[in-house]
Every structure is written in structure tokens, then in C-alpha cells.
Chain A
Amino acid sequence: MNRFDYVRPSTVAEAVQALGSDPAARFIAGGTNLIDLMKYDVERPGKLIDITRLPLDKIEEREGGLRIGALVTNATLAYDARIRERYPLLADAILAGASAQLRNAASTGGNLLQRTRCYYFYDTATPCNKREPGSGCSAIGGVDRIHAILGTSDKCIATHPSDMCVALAALEAVVQVSGPQGDRSIPFAEFHRLPGDEPSKDTNLAPGEIVLAIDLPAKGFGGTHHTYLKLRDRLSYAFALVSVAAALELDGQTIRTARLALGGVAHKPWRNTDAEALLQGKPATRETFKAAADLILREAKPQATNGFKIELARRAIVRGLEQAAAGTPQSQSDKRIQ
């Protein structure tokens, strides 16, 4: 790990000022991703700004929904009684990710800002456009099992690794940020980016901005018509090959509202509102779900060896929607898929 300056602000204003326009400065909260990247020399910050003393660790009622402070830990969020009752999809997605130790340390804001787990991004001996713009992409034509099938570019095929963010995309969360130009709100769909020609940019945060909170809207899909179905190479403590966050509102057997987002398949949580519109007003049947899956995956593009993920995603979407329709959310401890 490189040597760095360390500061510990007590207010958001101090933190934003400490970051300033210094491209080598980083905020640190849980540290579970940043310290790991520093040990691999992927990140070499000149200054760490320890934001753990900022007053951003509350979950508060707001306009019928909840405001989650950026420093609320993943574990606190997943086990909060209000989250479990009103936003069970979010609780389940969080518990599908990482380990208990990591969830105890990792922050909500940091979960949004974690970097890809692409092998080549981590390996400083190989070219990577995300780590070193213009150097090339080693994953294209390389070991691509965990890489994207949707929204890729010829510069980058990395995936966003978060489970929590897949649920936040489905729930239409809003990210509250602050920076030198003041405060602003970013709809979740616009927070993360596709790689395009600038894969080094994971998000649309402007330089100098800090995440303050995540707002959950009043509509939380409480009850049982939701699921977070995560498929991976081992049953726990592994990143998704494909995951599905699904939530439905039903009138009898007819779909009134559908939300659907995928993880493990793109550079950001993949939500397709056309597919949600297709589901609306249709009977909650396997045929309907297959049609939605076909629509989402019509534009999927396999890499050299990860074509299996397209069929895996198709089946995961259908099964996830079946679980949501049946009111039988996937258990995050008993891993049998019903």
C-alpha cells in the first residue's frame, strides 16, 4: 500500500473542502473495497478523507419513504425493521451479497461506488481501459466468464458487482449528493454509467461530489410479491453471474405493476422499462415472463466464452418473475431454488 495523507473531517462541508479538486484524494468509509484496491496498487490515493465521523448514519422517514444516510452499514440497512417490512427486496438483495463481516463494515454510499471485480482491472500487469484509459481491454478475448452481455462497448465489458444496487434500481431510488456546486438529486437509473468510450468513469458523480443519502420512494413492494434471485459459482459469498430483482403488484392473476432489474450482466444495474411495460396488464404466466425475458435479451451480445449467461439470464428472469408472482421470495439462507 502506498503512503498517503490522512484527514478526518467532522462535517460534510469540511469533507467536500478536503476533497476539493484533488484527483488523488479519496473518501473512505467502510474501506472494504478501497483498501483492497490499495493493496493491489490499483488505487494509490495521495490523501484519504475518513468520512466515518460525518452525521450520515441515520435511516429517516421522508415523504412516505425512507432516507438512508450514506454511512448506514449494509448490515444495519438489511436488518432494519422498516426496510424488512416495507422494502423486503432491498433487504434480500443486501443479504445476498458479500459476507457478514463485510456487510458490517461496508457503507451504503460505498456500495454504490465500489469498483468492478474484473480480473484485469485488478491485475496491474495487464492493460485495462478502466484503470488506465487508452491501454486496451484484456477481458475482450480473455477470461470473460464474469463479464457483461448487455450495454458493453469495444473499450470495456466489466460488470457492476453490487447486489444492493440491483434492488435500488428496481425500487427507483434517488441518490442525494453534495459538492462544490451545491446539492442535487440523481435518479438511480442515471447514477451509474455504461462504459462507452470512457470506462474509467463508473458513475455520473461530478468531481468533488459526495453521496449523502439514498432516498427510497413510498412504493416499496412490501408483502411477498418480490424476489432477489442470485445465481453464482458457489452458494454464498460470491459475485453474481446473473441476478434478478423482481417486484410485482397483481390484480388477481393480472400484472398491475412490474419492476425488473438484472445484476451481473452489465456495467450498471440493468433495468429495461420496455420489458416492465410489456408485463403490465398481462396475465402472470410463464409465457408472459418469457416474452419479457426475450425483449430484455434481444440486444444481448456474448463475449468469446460467456454466451451461457444469456440463457442463464433468460431462465433467471422467468424464474424470478414466477417467484414474485407466487409470493415466494428466494430465501437467502436456504439456497434451494423453488
Chain B
Amino acid sequence: MLIDSGSPGAVGTIGITLTINGERRTLQVAPWTTLLDLLRERLDLTGTKKGCDHGQCGACTVLVNGTRINSCLTLAVMKDGAEITTVEGLAGLAQREGKNSLHPIQEAFVEHDAFQCGYCTPGQLCSSVGLINEGHAKTRDEIREAMSGNICRCGAYTNIVDAIEEVMQQGDAR
């Protein structure tokens, strides 16, 4: 057995290590803490949003080892050892590539007016980076389909697709 929390009910009994936005952190977490709640409530990384908390809206989307997932449907303890990137870390990804700026997808969202209220935007941005890294979507139809897990109640979808398409054409994902 790699880990056994012992008797249930004891809070903070499991030690995990996560690399969050490039920073390695050792944490004690209760097993029922979602990755989303860990980020927001414990680590003050409130860029990642809690929308529905049931995997239906995509506002909580983060990158785990470069792959986009819903952080609300993930227990933090299960991601022990993983590398997490939240919206706060996207610019850092770009800076790692030697750019002293926002991430290209962030710049494209600004350029294309791809948000209104902004609540879904952190999830849209992380999802977009995940989509581009996956490399499966090529056409506008495919981008729309691959972004269907991110709801935007302001209806900025057209401009979001424009922004993603532009970054994709620049070949500038990470």
C-alpha cells in the first residue's frame, strides 16, 4: 500500500507534493479536499473559479501535467506528484519560453474581446491552452466542439474561437 490515511475523520492526515505554477509545495490535505478547493481556499489561487462545482461549466479548468481537467471533480490527494498550472501560471509558461509578457492565448483573448464579465475566462484560457497542446482540433467546428466543456453565459463564444484560431495559426501554444 502506497498510502493509507488510517481511520476516517482525522483532518489533514495525508502529505502530498504538488508543483503549482512552477513552485514545488508540500501540503497536508484532508482526502475529501478537491483540487479546486485546495487552490482557492488553502493556497489563495482564486483565479480558478468555482462555477457549478459539478463538472458542467468548465470554470474550474486547470492543467494537470499539461492536460486540461475539471479541478472540481478531482481530489487533491489523487494528484500527488503532479504539475498543476492555473490561470495565474499561464504567463509563467510563456516566460519560460523567454517571453516577458502574457501568455499568447491571454493576449489573443484581449485582442479579440473574447470575454465580457470574465468569470469563465480563467477556465476558457486553461482549456484553450490544453486544446492547442492536444493538437486534435484543426477547424473552427472542431475548436467549438473541443471547447464545449466551457460555458460562457455572456456568449463570447465566437470571439473565443477567433482567439484560439489565431494562436493555433501562430503555432504558439505553450
Taking beta carbons and an 8 Å cutoff, which residues of A are in contact with B? Answer: 1-10, 14, 18, 28, 31-32, 35-36, 39, 46-48, 50, 52-53, 75, 79, 98-102, 104-105, 236-237, 331-334
Asked if A101 contacts B68 (CB within 8 A), the reply is: yes
Do A101 and B53 have beta carbons less than 8 Å apart?
no
Binds A, one of B88-96, B99-107, B143-151: B143-151
With A35-B34, A99-B58 as known contacts, state yes or no: A105 contacts B3, CB within 8 Å.
no
With both chains docked as a complex, state the minimum distance between the C-beta of A105 and any C-beta of chain B, in angstroms: 5
The contact string, 1 if C-beta is below 8 Å from chain A, for chain B 117-161, is 000000000010011001011010110111111100000000000
A9–B1 touching, CB < 8 Å: yes
Bound-state Cα–Cα, A100 to B149, Å: 6
Most buried by A among B32, B131, B137: B32
The answer on a CB contact under 8 Å between A101 and B61 is yes
Cβ A100 vs Cβ B134 within 8 A: yes
A8/B141 contact (C-beta < 8 A), A39-B54, A102-B55, A237-B148 known: no
Q: Which residues in B have their C-beta under 8 angstroms from that of A236? A: 144-145, 148
Q: A102–B1 contact, CB under 8 A? A: no
* Interface size, chain B (Cβ < 8 Å): 46
Q: Is B171 an interface residue (CB 8 A)?
A: no
Contacts of A1 in B (CB 8 A): 32
Near A by CB (< 8 A), chain B positions 1-46 give: 1-9, 14, 30-32, 34
Task: Please tell me if the beta carbons of B130 and A100 are within 8 angstroms of each other in the complex.
Answer: yes
Contact of B73 (CB < 8 Å), options: A36, A53, A75, A332? A36
- Chain A residue at minimal CB-CB distance from B151: A237
Q: How far is the CA of A101 from the CA of B64 in the complex (A)?
A: 11
Q: Which residues of A contact B30 (CB under 8 A)?
A: 3
Taking CB atoms, residues of chain A closer than 8 Å to B148 are 99-100, 236-237
Confirm or deny: B168 has a beta carbon within 8 angstroms of a beta carbon on chain A.
Answer: no
State A280–B1 Cα separation when bound (angstroms).
52
Given contacts A52-B78, A100-B147, A334-B141, 14 further A-B contacts (CB under 8 A): A3-B9, A5-B4, A6-B3, A8-B1, A31-B74, A32-B55, A35-B74, A50-B3, A50-B78, A100-B148, A101-B70, A101-B149, A104-B68, A237-B149
